[in-house]
Structure 1
Amino acid sequence: MRLSDIGPIGQQAVLPAAAAMHVAAGPVWSEDYCGGAWLLTRYDDVAMALRDPRFSVRRAARWINSGLAAVDGRAAMSPAQVQFKRVFARSLLFVDGRAHRRLRAVVQVGFKPGDLQRQTPFIATMADRLIARIETDRVGEFDFVQAFARPLPALVIANLLGIAGLVPDAFIDWASDLAAFIGSPTPDVRQTRAAQQALADMCDFFAQVMATPDAIAADGLLARIVDARQAHRLTAIEALAQCCTLLFAGYETTRNLLGNGLLALLRHPAQWAALKASPQGLPAAVREMLRYDSPVQYTGRRLVADIELNGQRMKRGDLAILHIGAANHDAQRFSDPGRFDIRRAEGNHLSFGHGPHVCLGAALTQLEAEIAFTALMRVMPELRLGAAAPVWQDNSAYRALQHLSIGTRSQSHA
């Protein structure tokens, strides 16, 4: 089975990528991902694998090697390639067990409820400023992704880290190059080289910032990472890896949620009207946006032990693709899963993962989206889809809009 056989993916999709997806009793073997992988699509199977230590996140080496081999074949890796592999392999995303708990203990302090609530005024201010800029600059329709969904999460994660105003404009391009590499089932030469350069530039940026601690906000997360490095709780490469992970992951998921969520609301006018009439329902609405059109469609795991699942023998060393988007549309878990329903109350989606690797920034993403949609409903309540069709990025793992044309009803009557 090919990934494209499961359901519409990427820019060809009109419905959510998982909406027309067949949730197999699997796992099902596919040759599409790094030479072959098991696809898990049922909610219960994906949830189990996300929390089961036999499904290891330590898959970075083989996956990155496949991309590097495409660049240089069997030739020795350059210093830049070695650095690329070392940073990825030490990211919180790709370590298990004791190492994962140690790294998570350092960075999770910035995501405690009190720390996040202190971000609320900043998020609200930035959302209002972006909307004011849109209102001032636009003539006719505007691109919501470029004008709002891209800049807001970049500003927020930079402020959380304590480096507001320091992150270069090139960051969004770095994030895009990394997302293209991570989201490719088989990274090609161009994607690998672009991601390698993006990660190197990101590491150089953080190395320079950490070398000038006076530029870092004392109460920011980066200051705590620097303290952990000085206390020898992190190595230098681990500190860089976590900084890059936080900046990238904190941006990508939220940006996709904002775009996908607004598109879902505007494609369902009755739901949009109901939310404006009862804005107190926004937390549940954001959760439904995450379930309906998951910003991250799948994640990977490497088996560290043989396991039998639904009659299939999965062997140690096999790669498993946990299809979050499909699990969130499993009819055994959600009634009429292809229906967008902001009042849905049927338990948890898996868009932030599950188990020990549940997304560290889940609460921040939820908070950011609630503040953003509150501001949009208050200032621009007559939003409507523009004339141009939405344009999706061509990426299997990240469900991301490249462009979303938006107007207002008042314009349509002008």
Structure 2
Amino acid sequence: MNAILEKPAELLPDFEVNPYATYALWREAAPVVWSDAFFGGAWLLTRHADVEAALRDPRLSAQRTGGWVMDVAEGDRAALGPFQRLFARALLFLDQPEHPRLRQVLMPAFRPQRLQALQPEIEQFAAELVDALPRTEPFDFMERIARPLPVRVIARIMGVDLALESDFMRWADDLAAFIGAVRPTTEQARIAQKSLLEMAAYFEQDLLPRRRRNPEDDLVTELVQARDDGRITSDTELLAQCAMLLFAGYETTRNLLGNGMLVLMEHRDQWDLLCRDPALVPQAVRELLRFDSPVQWTGRRVASSMVLHGQQLRRGDLVLPLIGSANHDPRRHSDPDRLDVQRANPGALSFGSGAHVCIGAALTQMEAQTLFTQLVQKRPDLVQAGPVVRNGNPVYRGILALPVQGGDART
């Protein structure tokens, strides 16, 4: 086994459909490899131990939006200036001291006691969607379940108007297309900028003023109060948190629900096991996160030059900890390419690790556990009813359409 890959890592032709075969080749070749296929060049961390360590390493900075956004501006950097200024203030892209300050502002909304109080409403939302499913006719699981559930939940938490549901989905799709591209184009950046600014305008011109006049029991009210008392230090910072929370609260959850349902439809023995014993669902959700993560990698910039497994990583280099690869590393997981909803310790890195671990991880898992529990209890008859349509996004791995049908011969 080589410590250093002798040539740049290349993507297999089916990478967007099945990245795990490519990851396996890289993982066995070397723990850190260079690839020209990502953002013009990046170091890829392929193994669980290195991915987890990188997510906790202060020498690797989360502040990476400047070059990422501006490198696709094709000579007109001013055109994407508004995008960069807002994008760069989101919690995801901040280091100390801004990151812990803002995380402390946001964290109370995602603490266990707050989520437990929300549980009955999530159960109600899920029940309404599941109970309305056709009994025998085919339907699109993404349209009927995976997209509307997280929209309802994050809208409830933030106090956002559900009447704008279709706009939220479009904005999220446009942002995900830019963030998830291995080589973003100017057009993708411009579309993402348009959607991000539209999202920010909704908050700035509508919801934030309303919450200042009439505070309510929601996260946006808390963010307004944090801006007024100085814990959030600028209007740009406030808008960035509002926009990215709405995006993240929807995008990751819908992909977990869609990916998870497809995997269970393809592994019928595991679906049937959950139908017989719904108490396994929480453990199964953790395994689904490991098996087909809705987030396949994240990015860091080298803040201080370092040597890793014999490779010289220089200040400014882009590093991509491959979460999807780490979750399938046989050094960490026994028989990693086998779905096992009874796996004792899935230990997925799908929500990250360290200071930047996903602030909404518990909420996303609660939504998935609630939904899959209702599905296996109420609709054990469901089967896949046609070919799946994938989103083609290598970072936010997900599904556009998943035909499902009930009423099969076993019920």
Q: TM-score range by the shorter chain?
A: over 0.9
Q: Is residue 158 from structure 1 mapped to residue 155 from structure 2 by the alignment?
A: yes
Q: Map 1:311-322 onto structure 2 (within 5 A).
A: 311-322=310-321
Q: Is residue 301 from structure 1 mapped to residue 300 from structure 2 by the alignment?
A: yes
Separation (CA, whole Å) in 1 of partners of 2:131 and 2:316: 52
The residue that corresponds to 1:18 in the other structure is 20
| Of 214, 225, 238, the match for 1:227 | 225
The residue that corresponds to 2:180 in the other structure is 183
The residue that corresponds to 1:169 in the other structure is 166
| Of 181, 200, 203, the match for 2:200 | 203
- Amino acid of the structure 2 residue aligned with 1:116: L
Superposition CA RMSD, Å? 1.8
Contact between 1:34 and 1:66, CA under 8 Å: does it hold in 2? no
Deviation, 1:139, is: 6.3
Post-superposition Cα deviations, 1:268-308, rounded to whole Å, max 9, x if no partner, equal 11111111111111111000000000000011100001111
Deviation, 1:412, is: 6.0
Q: Map 1:213-362 onto structure 2 (within 5 A).
A: 213=211, 218-234=216-232, 235-346=234-345, 348-362=347-361
- In structure 2, the residue corresponding to 1:350 is in which secondary structure? coil
Separation (CA, whole Å) in 2 of partners of 1:374 and 1:49: 35
Separation (CA, whole Å) in 1 of partners of 2:212 and 2:235: 19
Separation (CA, whole Å) in 2 of partners of 1:250 and 1:309: 34
- In structure 2, the residue corresponding to 1:159 is in which secondary structure? helix
Distance 1:308 1:375, change over 3 A: same
Distance 1:403 1:395, change over 3 A: same
Q: Is residue 9 from structure 1 mapped to residue 18 from structure 2 by the alignment?
A: no
TM norm structure 1: 0.92
Deviation, 1:76, is: 4.9
The residue that corresponds to 1:407 in the other structure is 405
- In structure 2, the residue corresponding to 1:97 is in which secondary structure? coil
Separation (CA, whole Å) in 2 of partners of 1:215 and 1:389: 50
Separation (CA, whole Å) in 1 of partners of 2:213 and 2:369: 30
Contact between 1:116 and 1:364, CA under 8 Å: does it hold in 2? yes
Deviation, 1:168, is: 3.9
Contact between 1:8 and 1:18, CA under 8 Å: does it hold in 2? no
Deviation, 1:262, is: 1.0
- In structure 2, the residue corresponding to 1:21 is in which secondary structure? helix
Contact between 1:179 and 1:398, CA under 8 Å: does it hold in 2? yes
- In structure 2, the residue corresponding to 1:294 is in which secondary structure? coil
Contact between 1:18 and 1:293, CA under 8 Å: does it hold in 2? no
Separation (CA, whole Å) in 1 of partners of 2:10 and 2:99: 30
The residue that corresponds to 2:115 in the other structure is 116
- Amino acid of the structure 2 residue aligned with 1:146: E
- In structure 2, the residue corresponding to 1:4 is in which secondary structure? coil
Separation (CA, whole Å) in 1 of partners of 2:9 and 2:199: 34
- In structure 1, the residue corresponding to 2:166 is in which secondary structure? coil
Separation (CA, whole Å) in 1 of partners of 2:43 and 2:119: 41
Separation (CA, whole Å) in 1 of partners of 2:410 and 2:116: 41
Contact between 1:209 and 1:215, CA under 8 Å: does it hold in 2? no
Deviation, 1:216, is: 6.7
The residue that corresponds to 2:55 in the other structure is 50
Distance 1:373 1:19, change over 3 A: farther
TM norm structure 2: 0.93
- In structure 1, the residue corresponding to 2:328 is in which secondary structure? coil
Unaligned ranges ≥5, structure 1? none
Distance 1:146 1:216, change over 3 A: farther
The residue that corresponds to 2:34 in the other structure is 29
| Of 62, 67, 73, the match for 1:62 | 67
Separation (CA, whole Å) in 2 of partners of 1:161 and 1:353: 23
Separation (CA, whole Å) in 2 of partners of 1:4 and 1:216: 52
Contact between 2:211 and 2:220, CA under 8 Å: does it hold in 1? no
Deviation, 1:134, is: 2.3
Contact between 1:140 and 1:411, CA under 8 Å: does it hold in 2? no
Deviation, 1:165, is: 3.1
- Amino acid of the structure 2 residue aligned with 1:399: R
Deviation, 1:75, is: 3.0
Distance 1:389 1:28, change over 3 A: same
Deviation, 1:77, is: 0.9
Corresponding pairs, count: 399
Contact between 2:177 and 2:393, CA under 8 Å: does it hold in 1? yes
Contact between 2:382 and 2:408, CA under 8 Å: does it hold in 1? no
- Amino acid of the structure 2 residue aligned with 1:401: I
Contact between 2:146 and 2:258, CA under 8 Å: does it hold in 1? yes
Separation (CA, whole Å) in 2 of partners of 1:216 and 1:167: 20
Deviation, 1:411, is: 4.6
- Amino acid of the structure 2 residue aligned with 1:4: L
* 190-199 vs 323-332, which moves further: 190-199
